[in-house]
Amino acid sequence: MKILLLGSGELGKEFVIAAQRIGQTIIAVDSYENAPAMQVAHGFEVINMLDGEALDRIVAKHQPDFIVPEIEAIRTERFYDYEKQGITVVPSAKAANFTMNRKAIRDLAAKELGLRTAKYEYATSAEELQKAVLEIGIPCVVKPLMSSSGKGQSTIKTESDIEKAWQYAVAGSRGDVIEVIVEAFVDFHSEITLLTITQNDNPTLFCAPIGHRQERGDYQESWQPALVSEKDLYEAQDMAEKITEALGGAGLFGVEFFLTKEGVYFSELSPRPHDTGMVTLAGTQNFNEFELHLRAILSLPIFEITLEKAGASAVILASEDSTNPTFSGIEKVATLPKTDFRIFGKPTSRPYRRMGVVLSHDSLATPINEITERAKETAKLITVN
């Protein structure tokens, strides 16, 4: 099969590797050359994916069997036409289009499906944001409707933060939609990602829950399995199945939830492998999240997903701008037991850009906080120069 991968970051790179292992052909697309997934794909294209005509040209040029989005900033309304042409959009044109911005997916979850979510409002200007904050209350969280990895996300703690939050959200927004969602602050004790796999001819499957910690709206560490009560896990699985069924198609979804004293709150959804799911590269499961995504796409039956060991991931961040980043400390990490790492191969760095990840694993009997702390401390050994 020929797969057109739209977005070629580190998640796309691992997906390409999984696809290469079972003989698929991949064309990787991004807005810059030498993106991580391009380095392992059969071919590549450099375009602005918000340019619908440019997108049409490469689809016509390559005639793919599958279109697999890896990012949000794509002219996703074109996907409906591609489906009519007989191309499979992953997981579906509806899923990709709805999850391109937080407005469609939040309204689907809260208004149509009745899932428990934080109270929310929308704003298209600083003045509207002021009114929305008064309605929601302080503290609250502001996010661009179109963004990823926490870009443009901030917490308003006082009225003086409102203007700064608007400017930060606009600067961090992807695409051409200038609108934000304002969410009431949820008093949660933990947050999880539930990797949910929908299949064409088989039941929906769930991976063991993944816990994660965020800073600046971006994940810093993730661990599997997260400690979740049976009641909360059942509620999260029920919500995940409802929303992925409504979106349709086959593939892996990363569904995020807040766990509170009152129960489970739906937070966000990505119709693709999730950054917190990189912990599965530590061998925590019989199939990692990229292999599961691929198998679901290709309608290969997934008999079961088994938890093989406990594991954690911790990010390696850049601290400065560079057009030729190098790494030190890798030799130290290589000597450590039950530890691995991935360097993504990004051609440039900037402060807080995710450049790699450290992976730790141990037996299921080992306390997960010990494994997570090990990964966190190990990541500090690698510096980006």
Kindly list the catalytic residues: 148, 150, 256, 268, 275-276, 354
Which two tokens mark 220? 């810093």
Q: Is 102 annotated as a binding residue?
A: yes
Residue 157, number of CB atoms within 10 A of its CB:
12
To the question of whether residue 159 is assigned a binding role by annotation, the answer is no
10 annotated as ligand-binding: yes
Quickly tell me which residue has 């086959």 as its tokens: 250
Measured CA to CA, the distance from residue 196 to residue 251 in angstroms comes to: 8
184 is in an annotated binding site: yes
Q: Has 235 been labeled as part of a binding site?
A: no
What amino acid is encoded at 249 in this protein? G
The answer on whether 248 is annotated among ligand-binding residues is no
| 9 labelled binding-site residue | no
Q: CA Rg, the chain, in Å? A: 20
Q: Is-contact 298 1, C-beta < 8 A?
A: yes
**Residue 191 marked in a binding site:** yes
Residue 143, annotated as binding a ligand: yes
Residues counted in the chain: 385
373 is in an annotated binding site: no
Alpha-carbon distance of 202 to 302, in angstroms, equals 8
Q: For residue 96, say whether it is annotated as part of any ligand binding site.
A: no
Answer yes or no: is 11 a known binding residue. yes
Q: Per the annotation, does 377 bind a ligand?
A: no
Calculate the CA dihedral of residues 277, 204, 306, 301 and round it to 10 degrees.
-110
Q: Binding residue per annotation — 190?
A: no
Determine the Cα angle at 3 with ends 308 and 64, to 5°.
155
Spatial CB neighbours of 32, under 8 Å, sequence gap ≥ 6: 46, 347
Q: Which residues pair with 255 in a beta bridge?
A: 194, 269
Binding residue per annotation — 151? yes
Task: Please say whether the beta carbons of 183 and 118 come within 8 A.
Answer: yes
At position 202, the amino acid (one-letter code) is N
149 is in an annotated binding site: yes
> Which residue in this structure is represented by tokens 């039941």?
203
Q: Dump the DSSP string for 96-107.
A: HHHTTSHHHHHH
Half-sphere exposure of 234 (CA within 13 A, CB side): 3
Residue 256 assigned to a binding site = yes
**E-assigned strand segments in 88-139:** 88-89, 120-123
Is 183 annotated to bind ligand?
Answer: yes
Both tokens assigned to 201:
């001819």
Neighbours of 48 (CB within 10 A): 13
Tell me: is residue 275 an annotated ligand-binding position. yes
- Annotated binding-site positions: 10-11, 70, 102, 143, 148-153, 183-186, 191, 256, 268, 275, 346, 353-354
* Residues in the annotated binding site for ATP: 102, 143, 148-153, 183-186, 191
Instruction: Please enumerate, by residue number, every residue annotated as part of a binding site for Mg(2+).
Output: 256, 268
